[in-house]
Amino acid sequence: MGRIALVEDHERLAQLVVKALAQVGIPVDTFGRVDAAWAALREGDYEAVVIDRGLPDGDGIELVRRLRQARLSIPCLILTARDALHDRVDGLESGADDYLTKPFAIEELVARVRALTRRPAQRLNTVDSFADIELRPDGGMLVCSHEVITLAPAEMQIMLVLLRAGGQTVRRNALELAAWGLTEAVTPNALDVALHRLRRKLLAIGSVVRISNTRGHGYALVEA
């Protein structure tokens, strides 16, 4: 996973966010001003950016507008102390992908960042495929020739990870992390249930793809 940019002038809050994201393996660069963040985001290769609205040299929303005007599609999460409806609309109209009102639970922020980085903007319209199947994450669809079946969000995340592994084995905990994140309590058999449903769906649309349990420590896609 790539780096996250955090644009937040409140030092203690910034430190908390950096620490929380570091704990889940997401490195963060912090900026206290719009101008410094703009310079870095134009150059840097960030996977997502978390932007506070109240910054010493401007409103964080202006930074989002500038990024979009420059056709930079990096996912943006806006933080704000305000929760009026028009503030939310402003934020989303500026081109932000998500919106979080202060005060927030740090786990909630981590979950939102994970959600953003799981669907980076440049991947939105790509098609993921393996053998005779395709995934359409936007529509929540699994496609096999002319057959289409819908996947639940957790099932989609599991299939995306398996597909992108291209037949390599993926460990159970990596699939659980992709499907449910760190903040949700996952029952021990949730992954087994999801895999069972996915296997049935693959059969239902007549695909040659199977999910195999390899050497007892993970799962991989194979062609039957």
Query: How near is the Cβ of 29 to Ca ion at its closest, in Å?
Result: 17
Query: How near is the Cβ of 54 to Ca ion at its closest, in Å?
Result: 4
Query: How near is the Cβ of 9 to Ca ion at its closest, in Å?
Result: 5
Instruction: Give how far Cα 32 sits from Cα of 16, 28, 57, 151, 204, Å.
Output: 14, 13, 9, 41, 53
By CB under 5 A, tell whether 59 contacts Ca ion. Answer: no
Return the residue of 9, 57, 107, 134 that touches Ca ion, per CB under 5 A: 9
By CB under 5 A, tell whether 52 contacts Ca ion. Answer: yes
Query: How near is the Cβ of 11 to Ca ion at its closest, in Å?
Result: 10
Binding characters for Ca ion, 136-175, by CB under 5 A (x = yes):
----------------------------------------
Q: Could you tell me where the DSSP H helices lie in the chain?
A: 11-23, 34-43, 60-69, 85-93, 106-118, 153-164, 172-180, 190-204
Return the residue of 3, 33, 36, 54 that touches Ca ion, per CB under 5 A: 54
Ranges within 107-136 binding Ca ion (CB under 5 A): none
Angle at 184 between CA 183 and CA 187, to 5 degrees: 140
Give the gyration radius of the chain's Cα atoms.
19
Distance CA 151, CA 141 (A): 6
Closer by beta carbon to Ca ion, 9 or else 98: 9
Decide if 140 contacts 153 (C-beta within 8 A).
yes
Looking at 3-11, 105-113, 174-182, 209-217, which segment touches Ca ion (CB under 5 A)? 3-11
Please report how many Cα atoms fall inside a 13 Å half-sphere around the Cα of residue 200, on the Cβ side.
Answer: 9
Angle at 89 between CA 88 and CA 95, to 5 degrees: 100
Looking at 51-59, 128-136, 146-154, 202-210, which segment touches Ca ion (CB under 5 A)? 51-59
By CB under 5 A, tell whether 57 contacts Ca ion. Answer: no
Binding residues vs Ca ion (CB under 5 A): 9, 52, 54
